[in-house]
Structure formats: structure tokens, C-alpha cells
Amino acid sequence: MVSSMRGKLATVAVFTVAVAACTTDGTPATTPSSTPTTTSTTTALPATPTTTVATTTTLDRRTEIEAIFQDLEERRLHALYEGDREAFQALFANPEYMTRSMGAFDMVEFVDNWQPPTVVLVEVLVDASSCIAATTATDFTGVFVGSEPRDLVEVVENSGGSWGLSYAGEGWACDGPHPLSP
């Protein structure tokens, strides 16, 4: 309770009561006062030490990049499974890559009770504000009929504030003009 009153003054009242002493013959040596005497003093309480807890959150960039690839992969698979061409097309940052990818839209065959695989980030090749290139490992055996685990170089580009799939062909990883750009 004292610590909750930190920084405030506490008033301490000291009451003094006169005690009557008796003589050996039974008569009082002094006559007690009819009212008790009160003495009041004001004391400052000592300051309570404060503890500051730093709540700095360090964002693990590698985990953030992996989450970007995971999100795009899950959205891509759900669009393919649902046959939602608009949702599928909305995932691409490059219109030419999107057009080329649409050729495979109707050719995939899902296994029964499929679940999106976990995308594992193997290596970040480029990490820029507008483009991320990375090698990822993804096991599609529980998604597509006849698929195998694979490592891919994948590229995403930031287009209008959101990440989208981009062309990752041979030798291009955010390092110059996009090979499918006009």
C-alpha cells in the first residue's frame, strides 16, 4: 500500500496519551490530562524505483519473406482448385507472366483432401523494396497428382503496395529490366 502512494506525502499522526502513575499509597502522582495530546508530522515517502521494460519488436525479415511466398502460394492453389480465374490472375505482378501461367490453369489435377504445402525459404537472393527473389523448397506431393518436392527460384514484385508473382526465368532475379517487359 505504501508503494501505491509513491510520490505523495503521508501524514503520520502520533498520539501521546498520558499515563497516570500511582504512588505507593494509591493516590495518583499526577492528574491525567482530560484530552490526549496529538502531535502531527509530515514525511515524504521514499521514491519507489521504476522498471522500464523495452517492448521492441524485431521483425525477422527472413520469416516475413517466407510468409509472403506462403501467402501467394496458398492463394494460387485455392484459385486453381476453385477454378477462380479472376483470383488467379490477381496474384501476378507481371501481365505477360500471368498470361503464360493461364495456359496451365485447367491442366492441374488435385489429390483428394489436399492441403497447401509449407513453403520453406532456402536462400534469399535479392531483397529489395520492389522485388524479392528467393530459392524456395515446396513439396507438392500432397497437392497435385504426380508431383514431387522441388526447389525453385521464385520472384515476387511489389506492385501498387502488394506483392505479386513474377517471372523467374533463367538468369533473372530482380537484377535489371524485367525480361517480359515491353
So what's the pLDDT on residue 25? 52
Domain CATH for 161: 3.10.450.50
Residue whose cell numbers read 529489395: 128
Could you read off the pLDDT of 62-107 as tens digits, one per residue?
Answer: 999 999 999 999 999 999 999 999 999 999 988 888 888 888 888 8
CA-to-CA distance for 17 and 11, rounded, in angstroms?
A: 19
70 lies in some domain: yes
Give Dmax over CA atoms of the chain in angstroms.
Answer: 123
- The parent domain of residue 80 ranges over 61-166
172 lies in some domain: no
pTM: 0.64
CA-to-CA distance for 29 and 31, rounded, in angstroms?
A: 7
Could you read off the pLDDT of 103-143 as tens digits, one per residue?
Answer: 888 888 999 999 999 999 999 999 999 999 999 999 999 99
Q: Provide the domain count of the chain.
A: 1
More confident residue, 55 or 45: 45
